[in-house]
Chains A and B, each alone.
Chain A
């Protein structure tokens, strides 16, 4: 029997990764759920308080704002990040050359650390001497306060979206490339071109990848925290408070580890529910070309 078909060998090879994941992922995840029923300061003080943390969450105004903001952010991400990535993928697919160049350039922001991107955008948004205000002043306008209560969520949405467009772009481009040219050719014979081609042929055929991207984008939004921390720290007045950041603040800055743990359990629950709903609505189909 071939080496890779031998069940024992397969198990042996999978074992290290499984061990690694158990120690660094499953065990902490399980302990986190347990810790969410305690009040802990992260050191010696840890007392069992049952579902008090969850009860507290129900009355926590900031938590409600954070959940609302996270869902709004999810909406922005789906519409703009996936939307723009799709448009870029379709455009890049139809150019004769330069494809490699665009792939590299669009993918580049992903390798930059989110903290560095946050600091860069801070320089854009700064009231005194920031890039945007300097441009406005140059044209004779008046400096604006960019990090205002009204605009804070959009302010942090922009770099969040910008950073990962390239990732979804590459995924979608690869999927589009899988579509056999013969389909397009026969479509052209039927007079289907341009926008109709996009709607009736391209999108349906990359449907599975689109669903995957949707789930990734949505669950990714639940984890956003470093960009927000650096740019607005959840402010002003909680206008840009999101779940990931709130959990970090509660745990590491306020040292309420038990409450932070319960917030992270809620984040996981939301992630699971939303992914489940998305998968239900857009059921994946098997395609044969």
Chain B
């Protein structure tokens, strides 16, 4: 008797170990099987998008991961879009695992999910270098394949923009929503207060830095600890669009060395705040937003998080050309670098395929693109006019439209380890004079070619 009890106890303990490891897919599979029997009699789903068959009335649960979460300016708009879809399709539940893309966490989280087979059904992620591994592993579906069955997917997006996000194999894996531009954002009120000319030239920039720092205003909100945008702009200022696109497979370009050295020069002029060395991107954004810094190198997404009062006294302009630099005064860092991916696993699942494609259609419609563009100030991928934009957002669009050269950021061309070396082991050490730009770039070239 005692032995039997012991055996039973052991079996119970062992099964309890594996309870948590169950897949939720099997659960939805079971419940959708049960629901389909009742589905035919309860066909009161709204007719707005859908067509279809009894399959649409099965209980479907989808997971979606995007950058429109947390502190991102598009969060509210995106959540409303999901809600609208769920209202129109009561049988669909969407689990939203979005998080902001500021910093490294989002990139890490998505890549970890893909590599462990835990990817969401729909993912809004970067294109280019970040997506290479995901595409090569076959975890996402090319839209050429999707369009064979559903030709209207992404139909609202301009073809030329779709072409710009084709991957290394010529296929389209991501549907872009908004493009971005990066530039030098300026608090015009502070410039007026000290009678300064806007930093359209390097001389104006350095004059402004001198005057502002004498008067206790932080000239540039520059996070030396997370200097991604500083790197992009200072290299572009010296190297121009063509030089900016160097992938360090030849000699180290002198323009890059000079560009990074300029960061040190400005740092020595007290262009950055006293705690810039330990500052992160969000802290520097805060510094600017509170009116304590006069300039910041940021992107189109930055506008959405600034309150209206600040937006009224902000403008954005291209990075001034560095002395002896090759940059055209209008060139900027810009492009389309993210889009909606559909996971292979989800697409191949007959019970989910249609719903997933419908969701993506809904999220990439002209209306949806317009809403997201209005929220985050980016350039829309569909030919829509975004209304109600503040002056600074209009300035940004104008700057992007008039730019003679657009260059995608360096971190879309270099390996993560290589670019992160410049961020963590490069700029802070260069700014403090502990390493030279040449030393740093040689090591970056080493890492990139490894």
How many residues does chain B have at the interface if contact means C-beta atoms less than 8 Å apart? Answer: 41
Closest 6 CB pairs of A and B: A147-B278, A127-B275, A254-B417, A43-B133, A236-B277, A145-B275
B422-450 vs A, CB cutoff 8 Å, 1 = contact: the mask equals 00110011001010000000000000001
**Complex contact A16–B17 (CB within 8 A):** yes
Cα–Cα, bound, A133→B274 (Å): 13
Cα–Cα, bound, A249→B103 (Å): 13
**Complex contact A39–B450 (CB within 8 A):** yes
Residues in A whose Cβ lies below 8 Å from that of B136: 43-44
Picked from A128, A152, A237, the residue with its CB within 8 Å of the CB of B292 is: A128
A250-261 vs B, CB cutoff 8 Å, 1 = contact: the mask equals 101111100000
Instruction: Return 22 A-B CB contacts under 8 Å, by A number.
Output: A3-B2, A3-B6, A9-B3, A16-B17, A42-B111, A42-B133, A143-B274, A147-B275, A148-B278, A235-B225, A235-B277, A235-B424, A236-B225, A236-B277, A236-B278, A237-B429, A249-B420, A249-B424, A253-B108, A253-B420, A255-B417, A256-B417
CB-nearest residue of chain A to B417: A254
Question: A262 to nearest B CB, angstroms?
Answer: 14
A→B interface (CB under 8 Å): 3, 9, 12-13, 15-16, 20, 39, 41-45, 62, 126-128, 143, 145, 147-149, 152, 232-238, 249-250, 252-256
Residues in A whose Cβ lies below 8 Å from that of B350: none
Asked, given contacts A20-B17, A147-B275, A254-B420, whether A237 binds B10 with beta carbons under 8 Å apart, the answer is no
Cα–Cα, bound, A148→B273 (Å): 13
Cα–Cα, bound, A234→B429 (Å): 13
Is B19 part of the binding interface, using a Cβ–Cβ cutoff of 8 Å?
no
**Complex contact B417–A145 (CB within 8 A):** no
Cα–Cα, bound, A273→B275 (Å): 39
Cα–Cα, bound, A39→B224 (Å): 30
**Complex contact A16–B417 (CB within 8 A):** no
Within 8 A of A (CB), among B20-78: none
Residues in B whose Cβ lies below 8 Å from that of A235: 225, 277-278, 424, 428
Residues in B whose Cβ lies below 8 Å from that of A41: 133
Is B104 part of the binding interface, using a Cβ–Cβ cutoff of 8 Å?
yes
Is B112 part of the binding interface, using a Cβ–Cβ cutoff of 8 Å?
yes
Question: B156 to nearest A CB, angstroms?
Answer: 32
Question: A106 to nearest B CB, angstroms?
Answer: 30
**Complex contact B274–A127 (CB within 8 A):** yes
Asked, given contacts A128-B292, A253-B416, whether A43 binds B2 with beta carbons under 8 Å apart, the answer is no
Asked, given contacts A16-B13, A237-B428, whether A232 binds B278 with beta carbons under 8 Å apart, the answer is yes
Cα–Cα, bound, A127→B280 (Å): 12
Picked from B273, B420, B450, the residue with its CB within 8 Å of the CB of A127 is: B273
Residues in B whose Cβ lies below 8 Å from that of A233: 225, 280
CB-nearest residue of chain A to B450: A39
Question: A263 to nearest B CB, angstroms?
Answer: 13
Is B115 part of the binding interface, using a Cβ–Cβ cutoff of 8 Å?
yes
Cα–Cα, bound, A16→B6 (Å): 13
B120-134 vs A, CB cutoff 8 Å, 1 = contact: the mask equals 000000000000011
Residues in A whose Cβ lies below 8 Å from that of B287: 128
Cα–Cα, bound, A233→B103 (Å): 12
